[in-house]
A and B are shown apart, each in its own frame.
Chain A
Amino acid sequence: MLLKQLTLAYECLSAIGNSLELESMISEILSSFSRKTGAINARYYENKLDDKPMISIGKQVSFDFNKQNIDTQKYILLKINNLDIIILPLKNSYLLFVYKNQENTKKLAAMLGNFQSKINLSISACIGVENLKVLNEELEDRIKTSVNKIRENEKMLISQSKQAVMGEMIEMIAHQWRQPLTAIGMTSNNIAMDLALDDLDTKTLQLDLHSINTQVDYLSTTIDDFRNFFKESKEKEDVSSTVIIESINSLVSKQLENQNIYISIYECKEVIVHIYKNELLQVILNLISNSKDALLDPKSTQHNKKINVSCKNTIDYLEIIISDNAGGIADEIMPKIFEPYFSTKKEKNGTGLGLYMSKTIVQEHLEGQLLVENIDDGVTFTIKIPRLDKINL
């Protein structure tokens, strides 16, 4: 008898607390206890015995009994018709087992009663874990919402900083257009004069019109370049380093030349990167614009104003290097230059977002790095973008 009792107690105890999920833990207790003790039905009531059981396994038998004074006892043993019923009150719940033709139900009830505290502890652990899960889910949702909000803000800032360079762009367009417009004006004046002098021959007219058309094509291309820059990049694309450099050249060279800034744009060996093209251009334009502002600052003593744009291919990265000779960045402000709302150009409506957004775009959207260092007479910014052949898409 001792072996049987020990066997049963050991097997039943082994079934308690094997899961941290309440329904699965209770189901295992009900199923194991039933199989081991010979119960034909087992139930778990979550609150009151009057409620529908949360879990019921085995044969679906029905019976009725007086449910009063049950909470005060360690276990209840009832005899209803040919059924023996053991009720085990727990903290805010009940276990119930139904037996048919079972001997020694009193001993069984006493044994189950001894498991009360262990089952209570296991239920508390499950409820604790469930609460933690809910908290965790809430936290995850809140983090998701916050991250989405940050992403939205970032998107807005990128858009804002793009708008901020709009004025600059208009100036660039003006510089780009001045020369072709003058050429068109001169050609049309020549035609008018030849017409007045009755000296207009067909061949000259054809040549002049061809010249005007060439200039108009150039103007149209310039417009396309700028319009493309303002298009939102929705998908990353494979872009060649030479295309990036050419785009920079066509966007900024005229303006800088007109402002007496000598820009050297070096051709580089072709390498492909997988990026949002316009976002990279935005960063480069922003860095060039900063260099230009520094070179044009009235306090600047630099007469031979220079900006260099070059590329370097390393094993893993395409590096785009923009350097100037505007005197560099003071050591004390160097650690702050990538902070949001930090600006040395407050009097010129500097937002303090340019470098912050540049760094954000490079790091978060282009998965690269933006580095800065002072050189002899100026500063160098290096944009490092992972090469297409080195990334797993």
Chain B
Amino acid sequence: MKANYFKTIEDFLQVVDTNNKLWLLLVAEKCSFEHSQIKNLDIDCYGGIFPEVIFNKQHYKDGLIAVSLKLEPILIKDIQKPIIESKRLKSIDSMLVFVDGLSAFIDPFLVSLFESSDEECVIFGGGAGKLTLEQDLVIFSPLEITQDSALIIPLEKKAEIGVNHGWEFLEGPFVATACQNNILEQIDYEDAFDIYKNIVEKDSGIKFNDENFFDLAKSYPLGIVTYNGEVIVRDPIAVDKNNLILVGVMPENSIIQILKGQNTKLIQAAKKAAQDSIKSNEDKKIAIMIDCISRVLFLEDAFVKEIDSVTQVIGDTQLIGVLTLGEIANTSDKYIDFYNKTCVIGTI
């Protein structure tokens, strides 16, 4: 698995080694990319479009990362339906998964992926999509570019993963008393936004108005409390009437907290994720960082420090990555969760 950053798709196509037939392209949102450019080539290009990409110590809104692959990826064209390629999935022991991050069917897809994959399979990845937060065609194979779809990239070696977010408890617990998929309607039997607004305005000293919801909410995500002590972060991205619109589903009757972020804690969390991803001390060729775009929006210029903290841990191992709409990490010892505002690092 070798990776390089290119400013444009033309740059990549000029220098590509056509002896290697399979390529993964991680395309940044601002990159001028037309799917027709990768159709009918001597090579097969699979990939996705993301808000930003990470290469070595930098993150880019433009350009693309090209990664040579040995095993052919699987495009799941319609994630609403149960996966039928389960025989091939059972033979994969590590996979990188990119899903349409704004699809309404991510949760059933992850259930189906968990049920179809091998008992020991390591799965990590995230949500493709654009920062406009409007669903678009973002997952592609050599033949087509799709939405409500997913790309499964089998990895040639067993991956090791680390997951962490660094968001801290601000207030709770509350019960999510009424939810519809990714819409949180009620907290403790009251309108969700009213409860959320009171707490956030009190802590930040800033009032919500018609234009600043995301600017303020990006610092105050919600956390779903789990039995294992893990807090799964849910990002409120919009408000509709008095409902909070989240990235990822919120099961009804979940116990939730309102969280708050601090730059240092988030950066430390990314470092911890990197450390967990190299616990085995095996020689690693590449580290793949799947980091939530909202961490960049929160950390702003300090985000490079988060990348630095990871590169300090992984040393000479090449770092590539994407900034995503939702993150995935699983070692097959429980169902696959769709995280928000989280840093996932996989090494192989």
Contact = CB atoms under 8 A, between A and B. Distances in A.
Query: Is chain B found bound to chain A in the same assembly?
Result: yes
Interface in B290-348: 331-335
B62 interface: no
Interface stretch (A2-10, A117-125, A131-139, A300-308): A2-10
Given A11-B253, A11-B254, A38-B333, A58 B114 contact: yes
Contact of B334 (A3, A7, A8, A38): A38
A58 B333 CA distance: 11
Contact of A59 (B115, B229, B251): B115
Nearest to A34: B335
Contacts of A58: 114-115, 335
Interface stretch (B148-156, B192-200, B204-212, B220-228): B220-228
A57 B112 CA distance: 10
Most buried by B among A7, A10, A37: A7
Contacts, number: 66
Contacts of B114: 58-59
B119 interface: yes
Contact of B225 (A4, A34, A100): A4
Contacts of B226: 4, 7, 36, 38
A103 B334 CA distance: 12
A40 interface: yes
A196 interface: no
Contacts of A102: 333-334
Nearest to A13: B253
A7 B253 CA distance: 9
Interface in B7-61: none
Contacts of B227: 4-5, 7-8, 36-38, 108
A60 B227 CA distance: 23
Contacts of B117: 59
A38 B333 CA distance: 7
B173 interface: yes
Contact of A35 (B115, B175, B229, B335): B335
B255 interface: yes
Interface string A92-106: 000000011111000
A61 interface: yes
B129 to A, nearest CB: 24
Nearest to A60: B115
A14 B335 contact: no
A3 B225 contact: yes
B252 interface: yes
A147 to B, nearest CB: 43
Interface in A125-153: none
A61 B332 CA distance: 12
B284 to A, nearest CB: 23
A302 to B, nearest CB: 80
B252 A14 contact: yes
Contacts of A10: 175, 253, 255
Interface in B110-139: 114-115, 117, 119
A101 B119 CA distance: 12
A100 B333 contact: yes
A61 B114 CA distance: 12
Given A59-B114, A59-B119, A7 B225 contact: yes
A32 B226 CA distance: 12
B119 A61 contact: yes
Contacts of A60: 115
Given A11-B254, A61-B119, A38 B228 contact: yes
B37 to A, nearest CB: 40
Interface in B154-180: 173, 175
Contacts of A40: 119, 332-335
A58 B334 CA distance: 9
A128 B165 CA distance: 48
B255 A11 contact: yes
Contacts of A35: 251, 335
Contacts of B254: 11
Nearest to A4: B227
Contacts of B251: 11, 32, 35
Given A34-B335, A40-B119, 15 more contacts: A4-B227, A4-B229, A8-B227, A10-B253, A11-B251, A11-B254, A32-B251, A35-B335, A38-B228, A39-B334, A40-B335, A58-B335, A60-B115, A100-B334, A101-B333
29 contacts: A3-B255, A4-B226, A4-B227, A7-B173, A7-B226, A7-B255, A10-B253, A11-B253, A11-B255, A32-B251, A34-B335, A35-B251, A35-B335, A36-B226, A38-B227, A38-B335, A39-B334, A40-B119, A40-B332, A57-B115, A58-B114, A58-B335, A59-B117, A60-B115, A100-B119, A100-B334, A102-B333, A102-B334, A103-B228
Interface of A: 3-8, 10-11, 14-15, 32, 34-40, 57-61, 99-103, 108
User: 7 smallest A-B Cβ distances: which pairs?
Assistant: A38-B334, A7-B255, A14-B253, A101-B333, A100-B333, A8-B227, A7-B225
